[in-house]
Amino acid sequence: MGTSRNVERRTILKAAGATAATLGLAATTGCGGNSGSGNGTVTIRYAWWGAEERAKKINQSIALFEKKYPKIKVKTDFQDYVAFWEKFQTQAAGGNPPDVFQNAVGFLRKYDKRGILLDLKSQVDAGNLSLDNFREGVTKVGEVDGKQLGIPVGSNTMALVIDKKAFRKAGVEAAPGWTWDDYFKALKTIYDKTKVPGDTGYFGIMYLYDVYLRQNGKAFFTDDGLGFEQADLTEWWTDAYNRVKAGIITSPKIVEQDKPQSSLSAGHAASEFTWDNFAVRYTAEGDSDYGLAPIPTTDGKDTGQYLASLMLSGSARTSHPKEVAQFIDFMVHDAEVGKIMGYDRGILASTEQYDAFKPTDTVAKEIAQYEEDTAKAGVLGTITPHPSGADTVEAAFLRISGDMAQGKSKVSDAVKQFFDESEAAFQA
174-203 tens-digit pLDDT: 999 999 999 999 999 999 999 999 999 999
The Cα–Cα gap between 324 and 72 comes to 9
The CATH number assigned to the domain holding 35 equals 3.40.190.10
Distance separating alpha carbons of residues 17 and 15, to the nearest angstrom: 7
Name the least confident of 69-78, 180-189, 297-306, 363-372.
363-372
Query: What is the per-residue pLDDT for 82?
Result: 86
Whole-angstrom Cα distance, residue 249 to residue 273?
12
Query: What is the spatial distance between Cα 75 and Cα 230, in angstroms, rounded to a whole number?
Result: 47
Return the half-sphere exposure (C-beta side, CA atoms, 13 A cut-off) of residue 338: 21
How does residue 264 score in pLDDT terms, banded at 50, 70 and 90? very high
pLDDT at 30: 34
CA–CA gap between residue 304 and residue 320 (Å, rounded)? 40
Work out whether the CA dihedral 313, 316, 321, 323 comes out positive or negative.
negative
Average pLDDT over the chain reads 90
Whether residues 173 and 138 fall in one domain: no
Q: Is the pLDDT of residue 20 over 90?
A: no
CA distance 12 to 8: 9
More confident residue, 54 or 280: 54
**Are 140 and 232 members of one domain?**
no
Same domain? For 243 and 327 the reply is no
Statement: residue 373 has pLDDT above 60: yes
* pLDDT value of position 37: 58
* Cα–Cα distance for residue pair 365/383, rounded to 1 Å: 25
- pLDDT at 204 (0 to 100): 95
C-alpha–C-alpha distance, residues 190 and 170, integer Å: 5
Residue 27 has pLDDT above 70, yes or no: no
How far apart are the C-alpha atoms of 230 and 221, rounded to whole Å? 13
97 burial type by CB count under 10 A (0-12 exposed, 13-18 middle, 19+ buried): buried
What pLDDT score was predicted for residue 19?
32
Cα–Cα distance, 365 to 110 (Å, whole number): 35
pLDDT at 113 over 60: yes
Nearest partner of 264 among 287, 296, 231, judged by Cα: 287
- Residues 29 and 114 placed together within one structural domain of the fold: yes
Write out pLDDT tens, residues 269-283.
999 999 998 888 898
pLDDT score for 278? 86
Q: Is residue 374 assigned to a domain?
A: no
Residues 6+ apart with CB under 8 A from 376: none
**For 359-369, what is the mean pLDDT?**
90
Percentage of residues in the chain with pLDDT exceeding 90?
Answer: 79
Nearest partner of 156 among 2, 303, 291, 382, judged by Cα = 2
Q: Is the pLDDT of residue 18 over 60?
A: no
Number of C-beta neighbours around residue 6 at 10 A: 17
Residue 5 lies in a domain: no
Task: Let me know if residue 370 belongs to a domain.
Answer: no
Domain limits at 77? 20-152+318-357
pLDDT band at 6 (very low <50, low <70, confident <90, very high): very low
Question: Residue 425's pLDDT is what?
Answer: 96
Distance CA 305, CA 341 (A): 25
Query: 336-346, pLDDT tens digit by residue?
Result: 999 999 999 99
pTM: 0.84
Q: Which residue has the higher pLDDT, 377 or 184?
A: 184
pLDDT of 62 > 60? The answer is: yes
Say if 368 falls within a structural domain: no
What average pLDDT does the segment 42-66 reach? Answer: 95
Predicted pLDDT at 120: 98
**Residue 15 within any structural domain of the chain:** no
Which whole number is the average pLDDT over 66-90?
95
Arithmetic mean of pLDDT, 362-368? 89
* 336 & 220 share domain: no
Number of domains in the chain: 2
Same-domain pairing of 201 and 276: yes
- Report the distance separating Cα 340 and Cα 377, nearest Å: 30
| Pair (281, 402) in one structural domain | yes
Residue 52 domain flag: yes
Distance CA 283, CA 233 (A): 33
Determine which helix (DSSP H) or strand (DSSP E) holds 35, and give its type and residue range. Answer: strand 35-36
Higher-confidence position of 296 and 36:
296
* Among the ranges given (349-358, 374-383, 402-411), the one the predictor scored with the smallest mean pLDDT: 374-383
pLDDT in tens, 194-228: 999 999 999 999 999 999 999 999 999 998 999 99
Residue 338 within any structural domain of the chain? yes
Q: What is the distance of C-alpha 271 from the center of its chain?
A: 19
Does residue 74 sit in the same domain as residue 113? Answer: yes
Q: Are residues 225 and 127 in the same domain?
A: no
Together in a domain, 85 and 125? yes
| Ordered DSSP codes for 232-293 | HHHHHHHHHHHHHHTTSB--HHHHHHHTTS-TTTTTS-SEEEEEGGGGHHHHHH-SS-EEEE
User: Is the same domain home to 278 and 329?
Assistant: no
Higher per-residue confidence, 12 vs 378 = 378
**Do 112 and 251 belong together in one domain?**
no
Q: What local confidence, expressed as pLDDT, does residue 35 receive?
A: 58
Note if the bond before 385 is cis, omega within 30 degrees: no
Task: Flag whether 371 is in a domain.
Answer: no
* pLDDT for position 3: 40
Measured distance CA(217)–CA(391) in Å, rounded: 23
Which of the four pLDDT bands, split at 50, 70 and 90, describes residue 38? low
CA distances to 108, 158, 289, 356 from 206, in Å: 17, 11, 27, 33
Distance CA 379, CA 182 (A): 19
